Amino acid sequence: MDMPISAGSGVVDRSKKNITIRRLLLQLRAFIALIILFTFFAAYSDGFLNENNLIILTKQVAINAILGIGMTFVILTSGIDLSVGSIVGLCGMVAGALISQGLRIQALDAVVYFTFWPLVVIVLIVGMIIGLVNGILITRFNVAPFIATLGTLYIARGLAMLMNNGATFTNFADPKLGEPAFVKLGSEKLLALPYSIWIMAVMGVIAVFLTMKTPFGRQIFAIGGNKRAAQLSGVRVKSVTMLTYVISGLCSGMVGLIIASQLRASHPATGEGYELNAIAAVVLGGTSLSGGRGAIGGTIIGAFVIGVLNNGMTLENVSSFWQQVITGIVIILAVIIDQVQQRLQERNMV
């Protein structure tokens, strides 16, 4: 005997299908925006697809993406790191001091100059130490992430200024003053791509593996979703949270190295405002500022969106003031869309 079919069932099915499509479009919003922007500037800007311009574009994207990777770990735990730009400047100055002046050992009355790999390790450790300080302030002393990282922003920037009395370290390529191989990090290519792009790719792959395939990654999402519930389930909330800030410091240290190598100089003001670009890349990539939801791949795409937008507007001679206005509007729209996505998901869970 045939069973009667309710007329409303078709409406329900279509409604569910529409919700699924909207959810998919929301999840792919950064990728869709990237395709639209790239196609637009490729069609209307004569120099956009020029090889030299694309190299400049990818170098800038790599910087924002690497910072964004570290920022994603932090924001997934519902935190924030405002100190990344200052850590970039401080780490660049540390690299410049070690190359130009070496490390003076008073007891031996000697100056030690480091080769490339020891230099890189030292600078990255400096970045991780600042990140560790952030983590300790937040987890052990219960300082709000915004306030803790705002404080270290000023501390790191001040230390960068003090290292050479506000002056710039130069002459990185002079063999008499240190390791000339350092400049190759920012100037040479591998398979037609700058080293910075390869570094971004490697760090991105490692970050995706950590967040998607390890207990550490699952714990990060758990903390961002519900810190109290994560703690009750056995997650070492303080240790995991602290480690995310160390990772953010590591990424900032790497960016400091890359920029110092590209410029062949270290300036204490390097990295000013970079924390905003990193946060923008994370938000555009779909990571929720309230934590618990996001992806490293989305952050990298978000960095490309910012890079293509800024590069295209520069080629079209758009005023830098208007560039800031447009970038701000894009970020606000990204947050609004994120809220729409979150409400849609909550509605479907009811």
In whole angstroms, how large is the CA radius of gyration of the chain?
23
Q: What is the pLDDT of residue 350?
A: 43
Q: How far is CA 118 from CA 45, 66, 237, in A?
A: 43, 21, 33
- Whole-number Å distance between alpha carbons of 134 and 153: 10
Identify whether the C-beta of residue 66 lies closer than 8 Å to the C-beta of residue 205. Answer: no
Tokens of residue 277, six digits: 């670009």
Q: What is the pLDDT of residue 110?
A: 82
Among 108-117, 303-312, 337-346, the range with the most confident prediction by mean pLDDT is 303-312
Over residues 17-67, the pLDDT tens digits come to 555 666 666 667 788 888 998 999 998 888 888 888 888 899 899 999 999
Tokens of residue 56, six digits: 């400049």
For residue 299, count other CB atoms closer than 10 A to its CB: 32
pTM for this one?
Answer: 0.89
For the CA atoms of 162, 169, 275, 129, what is the dihedral angle to 10 degrees?
-60
Sign (positive/negative) of CA torsion 294, 298, 304, 309?
A: negative
Q: What is the pLDDT of residue 16?
A: 59
